[in-house]
Structure 1
Amino acid sequence: MSAAMTEAWADIRDHIQAHHGDDVRDVSEGFGELTLTVRRAAILKIIGFLRDDPICKFNQLIDLCGVDYPARARRFDIVYHFLSMAHNKRIRVKCTTDEDTPVMSIVSLFPNADWYERETFDMYGIVFDQHPDLRRILTDYGFEGYPLRKDFPLTGFVEVRYDEERKEVVYEPVVLQQEFRSFDFLSPWEGAKYILPGDEKSEAAK
């Protein structure tokens, strides 16, 4: 972390902590951005402050996503990315939750969070309280499970496709063209009859 980066963020960082120090669990800097880890219950209050405060002016929601850490009791991070055009700065806000505890929706503050929150719900199963229409958005209506959770299985028992002849979505048993193979990942040319320079395997790996 450079001294210049620390100085660039000092005023905004101190301003946020002065107004919401009790709700901010951690503050860090990296890659040109400030990251705030905040209490889940305060997420709407913190984000509203970042949007409306004249010193902050983070009035553009760039992205909202989930991150899964299955070994933790609160396994999910919800990560929000904001941009301030006035200050030409980006800020990241994070909070944590578990599989059962909802997070307050920010659609009332940023309408474009609607589809971001639906995607996060669809992929991770994170529920957003007071979302106007929390439905799956990428998977099928009858889909079970949450594909971006790290404990989601690699394959299921059925697959879905659109049948042109029947003009409807159909479910069929999964058919794998070959058994799962085990790769050692030491060479991208596994099985090739020639070896590229620098791609030789060590004797210990054979």
Structure 2
Amino acid sequence: MENALKELGAHIAGELSSEVISTEVAHNELFIEVRADVIDKVLAFLRDDSTCKFQVLCDVCGVDYPERPLRFDVVYNLLSLSNNQRITVKVQTDARTPVPTVVPIFPTANWFEREAWDMYGIMFSDHPDLRRMLTDYGFEGHPLRKDFPLTGHVEVRYSEDEKRVVYEPVSLVQEFRKFDFQSPWEGTEYVLPGDEKATEQG
């Protein structure tokens, strides 16, 4: 299996010598890194080439490395039913440089790319409908970025007085955020709200 994947990687690197940056075989899968601006050409080749036949796009997802200048990886997972092989294609980009959409090649990429935009802020040029799909229309930021605050920026609740959903800035009571990194059943020096009676009886 490993030899077949290495041969496939060599074939792809030979046919796409100016597009492929690196190839690697690990965990019985072939991983290739390519230039972001030609991802549509690469995926079209992988789908149509008689040796490859990767005709199923299983997923498109993002990975955030905020310490890098090109902070995002966009990862494409493809499957060849004919050859019973999988391939992972990776490109790198930043928050301002769009990656070409692959929706014309794999229509299933539509919602995958929308999710990557919604969660990470990764842009895809020429996407037919690039808008949020998991967060609200007025949502600020992209929640899977590693620099996004865990509490978010606003909290949403239904107001009985106004009879509508309202957005309010998040406010945390800091005294409830003491981190002792111990078991919650032992070692704490503070009394949690609601435990006062137990302390008095003890």
Using the size of structure 2 for normalisation, the TM-score is 0.84
Q: Is the 8 A contact 2:9 2:24 kept in 1?
A: no
Instruction: Output the CA distance in 2 between the equivalents of 1:113 and 1:166.
Output: 40
Is 2:144 the partner of 1:154?
Answer: no
Query: Any residues of structure 2 matched to 1:1-206 within 5 Å, and which?
Result: 4-5=1-2, 7-161=3-157, 168-174=164-170, 176=172, 179-184=176-181, 189-192=183-186
CA distance in 1, matches of 2:60, 2:163: 35
- The letter for the 1-side match of 2:83 is H
Shift of 1:13: 1.3
Percent of counterpart pairs with the same letter? 52
Question: Could you tell me how far apart the structure 2 residues matched to 1:22 and 1:48 are?
Answer: 15
Unaligned 5+ segments in structure 2 are: 188-202
For the aligned residue pairs, the C-alpha RMSD in angstroms reads 2.1
Task: Decide whether the 8 Å contact of 2:20 with 2:34 is kept in 1.
Answer: yes
Superposed displacement of residue 20, structure 1? 0.2
Structure 1's unaligned 5+ residue stretches are: 194-206
Task: Tell me, yes or no, if the aligned pair for 2:46 and 2:52 is still in contact at 8 Å.
Answer: yes
Tell me the distance in 2 between the aligned counterparts of 1:28 and 1:162: 51
Aligned residue pairs total 186
Contact 2:44–2:105 (CA under 8 A) maintained in structure 1: yes
Q: CA deviation at 1:153?
A: 1.3
Distance 1:61 1:163, change over 3 A: farther
**Which residue identity does 2:117 align to in structure 1?**
F
Deviations 1:105-158 (A, max 9, x none): 001011111111011001111100000000011111111111111111122442
Would you say the 8 A contact 2:153–2:170 is kept in 1?
yes
Once the two structures are overlaid, the 10-residue window that deviates more, 140-149 or 170-179, is 170-179
Could you state the TM-score of these two structures normalised by the residue count of structure 1?
0.83
One-letter identity of the residue aligned with 1:152:
F
Q: Distance in 2 between matches of 1:51 and 1:168?
A: 49
